[in-house]
Structure 1
Amino acid sequence: MRVVIVGAGVVGITSAWRLAQDGHEVTLLERHDGPGEETSFANGGQLSYSYVAPLAGPGVMGKVPGWLLRRDSPMRFRPVADPAQWRWLAAFMRACNAATSEATTRKLLRLAFYSRDLMQAFVASEGGKSGAGTDFDFARRGKLIVHRDGDAFESARRLLDYQASLGCEQQALDREACVALEPALLGIRDEIAGAIYTPSEEVGDCHRFCLSLARLLQQQPGVSMRFGTSVQGLVQEGDRISGVRTASGVVPADAVVVAGGIGSVPLLRPLGVRPLLWPLKGYSITVPLSDGGRAPHISITDFANKIVYARIGNTLRVAGMADLVRGGARIDVERVGTLVTQTRALFGGIVPDIPLAQLQPWAGLRPATPDGLPMVGPSRLRGLWLNLGHGALGFTLAMGSAGLLADRLAGRKPAVNAEEFSAARA
């Protein structure tokens, strides 16, 4: 089958990889000069399979007023005169209840564990091949969710049995055990109420993962990657999509997979396909580790501040924030400054006194659905497939979503319940 994929971020390029493995003739279209150059470029780096609970949770709405009053809050909201934002917010508020959040978490965990299996299989099969070029600093480092508030920690402890019933392997640690496991936290020892430890969580450089897949795809017969190619629209013939229109002409297709993140919304709108997506703008810095001994080896999530820390090679990736704003991926210096301040507060002088530009500040627009469930599969138009809406979990869920997409396109029974991630919602 001739398959054209729009978008070469981590979701699009993993889709290309899985479909090429199935023997399809794959054409990948990307407006940038290489893969993974937008939201996938400098994300948090954590492959956080056991922590996929949606942003829309039962306690979120009560925290929003306090967050909006803080300049360094983990969430920022600026209303705009756009009905799409208000539709998204209305659906988000409807999802902020325990029943919906728990159901969503169960679905996401199934997809995340499937994604973990596929990622580990990929690393095992491709990582050991001479010249494969799959080095993206993949490592199983484990993860600590650090709580400073005793009530929040006790709430997390009570969830351990429930999480275990869903397949998570976790344990609660008191402050002494937490610091013994990760000595880099010694500086805030007295502030720690406890932590939840998951030894199986992994890390990797998402951008370099995309580059690795691109190198492997170059070796696959029937694969064409067209970087620097802007998509102008999709070709519709009746109720069927038959190709993709670019500046250099139409690329014909038996199936078109739209995996272009938040940029997919205006592309799909003329077809009457309106996925309910809104960008959650996130930020990161990448700290060079001249003295690696003082940096954490285990991935850390500061629960109160919603900031993640992941050692990737000889750097520490620090990421966080969820800004529901307009304005593209422009870097907000104040928000990036918060990441610098919080990192210094948590790990002492680990951030060198260097210009901010040398910390590689980054901002990305994470395409989120209100309930946190991505849309993977066929749309209501024949030949049009979607792989969208992964929010902050794009790296974590990419391989699983690509596997689900490939199974559905091939007519195989999917490894996870496809209806739970139906693209018909668009």
Structure 2
Amino acid sequence: MTSRVTVIGGGVIGLATAYALVREGFAVELIEAGEALASGASFANGGQLSYRYVAPLADAGVPWHALGWMLRGDSPLRLRPRMDPAQWRWLLAFMAACRGSVNRTNAARLLRLALHSQDTLTRWREEDGLDGFAWRRNGKLVVFRDPASFAQARQRFDADHQQVLGADELAGLEPALAGVPFMGGVFTPSEEVGDCHRFCLALAARLRASGRCHFRLGQRVSKIRHSKGVVQALELGDEVLAVDNLVLCAGYRATQLGLPGLRLPVYPLKGYSLTVPVGARAPEVSVTDYDRKIVYARIDQQLRVAAMVDIVGFDETPDPLRIASLRRQAAASFPDAGYYAHGQEWAGMRPATPTGVPLLGASPYRNLWLNLGHGALGFTLACGSGQLLARALAGGQPALELPGLV
């Protein structure tokens, strides 16, 4: 077993992978192009560890719904076509995946990975004492405005792990829902919440204390040297860094490190969030407004409100109109939940595959491994993905058999 592994990417996927590798006895060199860890898509995401809600965006009917959404100013999805072959390839593959049978297969794979990730995080918390990131098992309530959406949810709910609540029962579970016009909801008590950025910092502190992980911040990989199907070294400006095994966790930026024969169907989906001081009636359980595609998660004394998918290219700048729409909708639904005028605005580029299933495991290069493309589920899937990859690198039997993964 090679004992040294280089990881490119200092977000939640890269840090969870490094942590799992160190637990397996590896020495790790982690390279992050930014000056700070977890400063991209991991910084202010939705905060929900939503293990039982992992169905991919690509599904039957989504293209037709998307046409209707794009006619609305407050649409949960926005597409801006570009003269970019990568965007069109991704969109065509996404359309091909918008079939019910494909969605069910991929949703089942993601569910198994998500539940494994939940088990892994539980083990790290209990065995290693990993804490300091506002973790709670507060449950998740998905609420519905449209009767047809609620009817479909009642048909699909898991009676062993979920509860269906009528409109008159919602406020009994979550008083903040009193007076909000929801038809009903589905509650999953086992779902969790946490601060992804603080989780990353907690992992980084443990990694530094281990003495087995070295961080290189503010260093961008400009080229990967290779020969005969083997990665040999990384170019970091004027420096050349030899590698034994390399794990690519660089999100959508991994596509810029092109290697012959390596196809990475990953494209950024921009999402938005507001982080606001909690008000008098902030929900304690995590809430997802299904029809408006907005999630609410209380993280200590802050309320995280997150939403939207923008397929608009590589501009990471928050769109003021999208932020204003998010603030307006949140304030209309939960006017006393937070001080929205004082919210921290954020946009993040979530690296997604067309199918919603991450690229996890071996590559055409003998010593290059992939762990990227988790989309909006990065925080949810990070621990399980990192643990599976670390076991594969160690030559052990993965704890979970997933066709197409590891």
TM-score class, shorter: over 0.9
Aligned length: 404
Shift of 1:248: 5.0
C-alpha separation in 2, matches of 1:301 and 1:353: 18
CA RMSD of aligned residues (A): 1.4
**Correspondent of 2:211 among 181, 200, 221:** 221
In the alignment, structure 1 residue 11 sits paired with structure 2 residue 13: yes
Q: Which residue of 2 aligns with 1:21?
A: 23
Distance in 1, matches of 2:17 and 2:84, equals 31
Partner SS, residue 58 of structure 1: coil
**Contact 1:329–1:363, Cα closer than 8 Å, also in 2:** yes
Identity value in percent: 46
1:145 deviation in Å?
A: 0.4
* Corresponding residue for residue 72 of structure 1: 74
Superposition map of 1:244-393 within 5 A: 244-267=234-257, 269-289=258-278, 291=279, 293-352=280-339, 354=341, 358-393=342-377
Q: Distance in 2 between matches of 1:138 and 1:346?
A: 25
| 2:136 maps to 1:139 | yes
Q: Which residue of 1 is the match for residue 174 of structure 2?
A: 182
How far is 1:327 from its partner?
A: 4.0
CA distance in 2, matches of 1:377, 1:284: 31
Give the alignment partner of residue 163 of structure 2, picking from 171, 181, 191. Answer: 171
Higher helix residue share: 1
Query: SS at 2:222's partner residue?
Result: strand
- Aligned counterpart for 1:196 among listed residues 181, 186, 206: 186
Runs of 4+ in 1 over 4 A off after TM superposition: none
Question: Structure 2 residue aligned with 1:405, among 386, 389, 401?
Answer: 389
Task: For 1:421, give the aligned amino acid.
Answer: L
**Shift of residue 420, structure 1, vs aligned partner:** 2.8
Whether contact under 8 Å (2:24, 2:391) holds in the other structure is no
Letter in 2 for 1:194: G
Out of 217, 220, 232, which is 1:242 matched to?
Answer: 232
- Is the 1:404–1:418 contact (alpha carbons within 8 Å) kept by the matching residues of 2? no
Which residue, 381, 384, 396 being the options, matches 2:380? 396
Match of 1:51 among 50, 53, 62: 53
Q: Distance in 1 between matches of 2:256 and 2:42?
A: 20
Aligned 8 A contact 2:282 2:338 in 1: no
Compute the displacement of 1:118 (Å).
0.6
The letter for the 2-side match of 1:118 is T
SS for the counterpart of 1:231 is coil
Q: Distance in 1 between matches of 2:403 and 2:156?
A: 27
Helix, strand or coil: the match of 1:234? strand
Aligned to 1:112: 114
Q: Hey, what's the Cα distance between the residues in 1 that align with 2:311 and 2:275?
A: 23
Does the aligned pair in 1 maintain the 2:268–2:314 contact within 8 Å? no
CA distance in 2, matches of 1:214, 1:327: 27
Equivalent AA in structure 2 for residue 180 of structure 1: G
Tell me if structure 1 keeps the 8 A contact 2:331–2:340: no
Opposite residue 222 of structure 1, the aligned amino acid is R
After superposition, the C-alpha distances for 1:377-406 in whole angstroms (9 at most, x for unaligned) are: 110011111101100000000001001101
> Gaps (5+ residues) in structure 2?
none
Question: Matches of residues 78-89 of structure 1 in structure 2 within 5 Å?
Answer: 78-89=80-91
**The one of 392, 399, 402 aligned to 1:415:** 399
The corresponding residue for 2:152 is 155
Q: How far has the Cα of 1:85 moved from its partner?
A: 1.2
Residue pair 1:187, 1:348 contacting (<8 A) in 2 also: no
Distance in 2 between residues matched to 1:206 and 1:353, nearest whole Å: 21
Q: Are the counterparts in 2 of residues 285 and 319 from structure 1 also a CA contact under 8 Å?
A: yes
Gaps of 5+ in 1: none
1:308-329 Cα shifts (integer Å, max 9, x gaps): 0000010000001001102421
Tell me how far apart the structure 1 counterparts of residues 326 and 176 of structure 2 sit (CA, whole Å): 17
**Inter-partner Cα distance in structure 2 for 1:84 and 1:353:** 37
Are the aligned partners of 1:29 and 1:225 in contact in 2 as well (CA < 8 Å)? Answer: yes
- 1:68 Cα deviation from its structure 2 partner: 0.8
The one-letter code sitting in structure 2 at the alignment partner of 1:151 is A
Corresponding residue SS for 2:253: helix
Alignment match of 1:100 (pick from 89, 99, 102): 102
Distance 1:107 1:252 in 2: 35
Q: Which one-letter code corresponds to 2:85 in the other structure?
A: P
Matched position secondary structure for 2:89: helix
Contact 2:113 2:385 in 1 (8 A): yes
Distance 1:303 1:321 in 2: 12
